[in-house]
Homo-oligomer: A and B are copies of this chain.
Amino acid sequence: MEKKTENNRGLLLVVSGPSGAGKGTLCGLLRKALPNLAYSVSVTTREPREGEVDGKDYFFKTVPEVKDMIFRGEFLEYAQVYGNYYGTPKPYVMSLLGEGRDVLLEIDIQGALQIKKVFPDAVLVFIIPPTLDELRARLYKRGKDTEEVIEKRLKESTRELRIAAKYDYIIINDDIEKACGHMLSLLDAERYRSQRMDFVIDRMLDNASGK
């Protein structure tokens, strides 16, 4: 008989954080450290931009296709933004998890909390900057937005920070290598949380009673 002592379901890791917290860079570093970590590709109804590849950057769908998917309950979460639909396809994520692969999802707070509701096993990680002053400095430094947009983003971040308590973990992105180390720790630790080890216990007890 095959000896299995490890949980072989994958983990769904959902990462959010305010704009400028550096979650993109952090997720990139995490994916480098864990080449087997799958990155969830979203569904969208918006037009592909130049160079975007269907099935890699997004799954590009028509509005009727997406409405059908919503009707059939095929999204872990979805939202309509500026008239376009964006969503996380449930069968796609579930099949990756079933193969034992961990899946990384970079998503906004609303989507993350939707996922936690329908899939409580998901692990939600909120990335925060060391201070709001640091966040302001980063947003100005990258020079992508006007002062007005930056101040609006900061207000939004303050609102989001109050919701962070609903996440499972809050990681301070002060030093990106350290932050990545904490992400690796929590991925390892989550595998041994008792609610994910029930089947190990059950099998031990089954084997014992079979004697």
Contacts and interface: CB of A to CB of B under 8 A. Distances in A.
The dominant DSSP class at the A interface is: helix
A132 B197 CA distance: 16
Q: Max chain B CB contacts within 10 Å: which of A189, A190, A205, A207?
A: A189
Interface of A: 3, 5-6, 126, 128, 130-133, 158, 161-162, 164-172, 174, 181-182, 184-186, 188-190, 192-195, 197-198, 200-201, 204-205, 207-208
Contacts of A170: 192-194, 197, 200-201
A205 B128 CA distance: 12
A169 B198 contact: no
Contact of A194 (B133, B168, B190, B193): B168
B5 A172 contact: yes
